[in-house]
Structure 1
Amino acid sequence: MRGLAGKVGIVAGGARGIGAATARRLAQEGAHVVIGDLLVEQAEETAEAIRAAGGSALAVALDGTNADSQAAIVAAAKEAFGGLDFYHSNLAGGTGGDIDALDCPVEVLDNSFAINTKSHFLATQAALPSIIARGGGAMIYTSSGAATGGAAWQVAYPMTKNAIHPLARHVAARYGKQGVRANVICPGLVLTEAVKIHLTDEYVEKGLKAIPHTRLGQPEDIAAAVTFLASEDGAWVNGQVWHINGGAQMRD
């Protein structure tokens, strides 16, 4: 894709799954990639694999729910590579104990909010000044199909993921004239390591039957969309929520 060679980007939550696939694809396109994660050893393994393949990558410990940690990873990107051109805010989690609205503990909601909403807000505050200083760039947020799908079995995760959408639209509307693009990716059922561990074969088979496609998603499918949005090929996409889901939800 055009315009990624030599660019500097952060992938938060890049140790494994969608984030790791995205870091690998960005590096293949010539970008310098800073991988942030609480799973520091796995982040370093991903970075080392990128370097072994001839790419440029650095692993940094990141607690996305902490403002100082978010500021530190931006500082690390600037120190290592001279600036920041895009930030892929890819953190997600906090689903344990997340059930229906009458039975979901407030503590579960608070934890979900911290991971799935607050982290993206803090990433924005940490990254935007540096992106603007470069003359513009991209904020790319990972939401979820759960944010718009309607789920009887959980309430906090869809609520807190949905909050990312107006955040991105705000950033696009407020900072677009300064060269900033902000967009959201909503993955469908993607066969990451975590999904393969936690979901039964029956659930996966049911998920495949439910979509008008020949297969379920792979992390590389989401990585391709994120990479497009970070590149010059995505230069005129701003304030959008993209559902990458094999047709599971068909939306305007």
Structure 2
Amino acid sequence: MGEGASIVIGDIEEEWAARTASAIREEGGKAIGVYLDGTKACSQADIVAAALSEFGGLDFYHSNLAGGTQGDVDILDCPEEVLDRSFAINAKSHFLASQAALPVLIERGGGSMIYTSSGAASSGSAFQVAYPMTKNAIHALVRHVARKFGKQGIRANGICPGLVMTEAVAQHLTDEYVETMLETVPHTRLGKPDDIAGAVAFLASDDGEWVNGQVWHVNGGGLFRD
């Protein structure tokens, strides 16, 4: 919003999406909130249609979906249904977002697909298998979209956030855990939502035109990657 974009916010909690859009409008921005079940093709089509009807076009799509971690443990103890749920949220949803948004972006002559992955996809965990495994699938999707549609003006990139202290995250963390995480990050603080928003805004803008097929780790140095 601070960059002048008109925003369609989709969430499975439609009331939250509406409240967030209202807050943006109160600050002078343009936004609407709609229901989105990212694991359903019809819902992904609806949010793209909302952008077209409300704002007259689609310039970028930020596929920012994650979850399905409840019951996710090591490979020998992880139930199959946990993997299925994690795949639906963390991989299939981004696949469906691409199918909904790409035809519109291609028709307009190009645009940006931005996918939220996770540092967990690269760090290697002994205690969790489904979430890192399915998040890693996004990296393959990023490269496929970039390679297949780059000549048609499409840019595709992924963002791997570190620990970001959103309201939802902060209320579930103990002070001890926060202190432990601070010790592991070569920075003076943990992540803020604005840190991720800044990276998304760059990749969505013309300034990010020469960035394609990349996975950026935005984590304050919590995980070093080439």
The residue aligned with 1:104 is 78
The residue aligned with 1:11 is none
The answer on 1:205 being equivalent to 2:179 is: yes
- Of 38, 53, 63, the residue aligned with 1:79 is 53
Q: Which secondary structure does the structure 1 equivalent of 2:139 belong to?
A: helix
Q: Which secondary structure does the structure 1 equivalent of 2:171 belong to?
A: helix
Letter in 1 for 2:73: I
TM-score, structure 1 normalization = 0.89
In structure 1, stretches of 5+ residues that fail to align are 1-26
190-199 or 169-178, larger mean C-alpha shift: 190-199
The residue aligned with 1:237 is 211
The residue aligned with 1:139 is 113
Query: CA–CA distance in 1 between the matches of 2:219 and 2:27?
Result: 29
Cα deviation code 1:2-40 (max 9, x no counterpart)? xxxxxxxxxxxxxxxxxxxxxxxxx12111100000111
The residue aligned with 1:59 is 33
Letter in 1 for 2:2: Q
Query: CA–CA distance in 1 between the matches of 2:224 and 2:103?
Result: 35
In structure 2, stretches of 5+ residues that fail to align are none
The answer on 1:115 being equivalent to 2:115 is: no
Query: CA–CA distance in 1 between the matches of 2:34 and 2:16?
Result: 11
Cα deviation code 1:48-93 (max 9, x no counterpart)? 1111111100111000000000011111111111111100000000
Query: CA–CA distance in 1 between the matches of 2:180 and 2:169?
Result: 14
Letter in 2 for 1:218: K
- Percent identity, aligned pairs only, is 72
Letter in 2 for 1:242: W
The answer on 1:49 being equivalent to 2:29 is: no
User: What is the deviation of 1:110?
Assistant: 0.3
User: What is the deviation of 1:244?
Assistant: 0.5
The residue aligned with 2:125 is 151
TM-score, structure 2 normalization = 0.99
Query: CA–CA distance in 1 between the matches of 2:139 and 2:168?
Result: 24
Report the count of equivalent residues. 226
Query: CA–CA distance in 2 between the matches of 1:96 and 1:33?
Result: 30
User: What is the deviation of 1:194?
Assistant: 2.1
Query: CA–CA distance in 2 between the matches of 1:115 and 1:214?
Result: 32
User: What is the deviation of 1:233?
Assistant: 0.7
Question: Greater relative contact order (Cα 8 A, min sep 6): structure 1 or 2?
Answer: 1
Q: Which secondary structure does the structure 2 equivalent of 1:163 belong to?
A: helix
Runs of 4+ in 1 over 4 A off after TM superposition: none
- Of 129, 140, 165, the residue aligned with 1:191 is 165
Computed over aligned residues only, the root mean square deviation of the Cα atoms, in angstroms, reads: 0.7
